[in-house]
Amino acid sequence: MYSDGEAGAGSPVLLNPGPAGTSERVKNALLRGDLCHREPEFSELLNRLRAALPRALEFPETYESVLITGSGTAAMEMAVTGSVRAGREILVLSNGVYGERLLAIARAHGITAHEVAPDGDQLERWTTPIDPTWVESALAAYPEVDAVVCVHHETTTGLINPVRAIGEIVARHRALFVVDAISSTGNEELDLADVGIDILCGTANKGLHGLPGISFLLCGPAGVARIAEAPMRGLYNNAAIHLAGQRRCEVPFTPAVQICYALDEALAEYTERGGRRARVALYRERAAVVRAGFDRLGLKILVDPPHRANSVSTLRLPERVTYPRLHDELAKRGYIIYAGQGGLAAGHFRICTFGEIPFERLEALEFALGAALLAARD
């Protein structure tokens, strides 16, 4: 069995969707020491990370990384603002909190944004994958659309959108394809390198097992070209400024140096442990273990099996169990779970399996969850 995770017996296991638990090696990277980001050692680190990201994720060498100090939302903002030319529009595919956030980012920057979303109430909208034919119709209806942006794995529910089929339609319409893969980069089944993504948003601290504080874009040639054409929309989260600096082996603003060290170690570990295929297999195995336990406990997963991510399960709360009670009972037993979002908060909770988790603690989850459900019942 894949041996992973070094959370000691006394440390809580994080079953939230990030920041994810990290290995001792990644945590210890913070102690590499102080470093000025204007010194050649930082340039070397930056170059190593920029090259390692597409390599680890098996993207072609034509993809360039743009690193940013900031959480995943910084990468989303950099991607949205950098992908639409002046006077052109964006199409946002939205079936969860993160699709809605992409729409809010576009509108905050005054970019005309059209939304494609499933019909129905919030529960229906958030549990229905985006149908590629809706994208085809919207692109025909809005010829000024310059970029289509989609969340691959909607962490709101644990739902995977069909980005490959959507990408084919976007390419046919000659629009740019931007994908928020923040909770799927390097850990979900689909080989994203195969999808025709022009700009991908990722983060250090979910499937890559780095620390929070650094996120990134992976840009194909069309993405790089578009970033150069997009007007100046903001300064800190500006992809053109970061890309131009990083091509000169510099960063425009003070970076989170020690978090870069941690990402360096996390990527080395990722590769040494067998790379993308091994990480995907690990997450698949984790999903099988925890979901067999959910089944035996009678817990129902919200998203239908064909659309389920391996890393996030949204579960219905049983009768007479509230989330705060269940959270606290599980915390007492060494597991940190996560609430449902939006309208799902009252009746659902989430169990996620990102990051370093000792396998035996995952196998022991069923027993702890069963006991916590009993103790939490009013």
Residues that bind ligand PLP (CB under 6 A): 17-18, 71-73, 76, 98, 151, 153, 155, 180, 182-183, 203
Which is closer to ligand PLP, CB of 73 or CB of 81?
A: 73
What's the min distance (Å) between Cβ of 290 and ligand PLP?
A: 19
Which is closer to ligand PLP, CB of 105 or CB of 299?
A: 105
Which is closer to ligand PLP, CB of 42 or CB of 216?
A: 216
Phi and psi at residue 62, in whole multiples of 5°? -70, -10
* DSSP one-letter string for 18-50: SSPB--HHHHHGGGG----TTSHHHHHHHHHHH
Phi and psi at residue 335, in whole multiples of 5°? -130, 135
Which is closer to ligand PLP, CB of 318 or CB of 342?
A: 342
Q: SS3 for 282?
A: helix
Which is closer to ligand PLP, CB of 180 or CB of 269?
A: 180
What's the min distance (Å) between Cβ of 190 and ligand PLP?
A: 14
Distance of CA 239 to the CA centre of its chain: 19
Kindly give the pairing relationship between strand 214-219 and strand 338-339.
Answer: unpaired
What separation in angstroms does the CA of 217 have from each of 71, 239, 282, 292, 377? 12, 9, 25, 35, 44
Phi and psi at residue 270, in whole multiples of 5°? -55, -45
User: By Cβ distance, which residue is nearest to ligand PLP?
Assistant: 72
What's the min distance (Å) between Cβ of 127 and ligand PLP?
A: 16
Which is closer to ligand PLP, CB of 315 or CB of 368?
A: 315
DSSP 364: T
Which is closer to ligand PLP, CB of 207 or CB of 293?
A: 207
Q: How many helices (DSSP H) and strands (DSSP E) are in the chain?
A: 14, 14
What's the min distance (Å) between Cβ of 68 and ligand PLP?
A: 11
Question: If we measure between CA atoms, which residue out of 204, 160, 243 comes closest to residue 354?
Answer: 204
What's the min distance (Å) between Cβ of 183 and ligand PLP?
A: 4
Q: Which residues pair with 363 in a beta bridge?
A: none
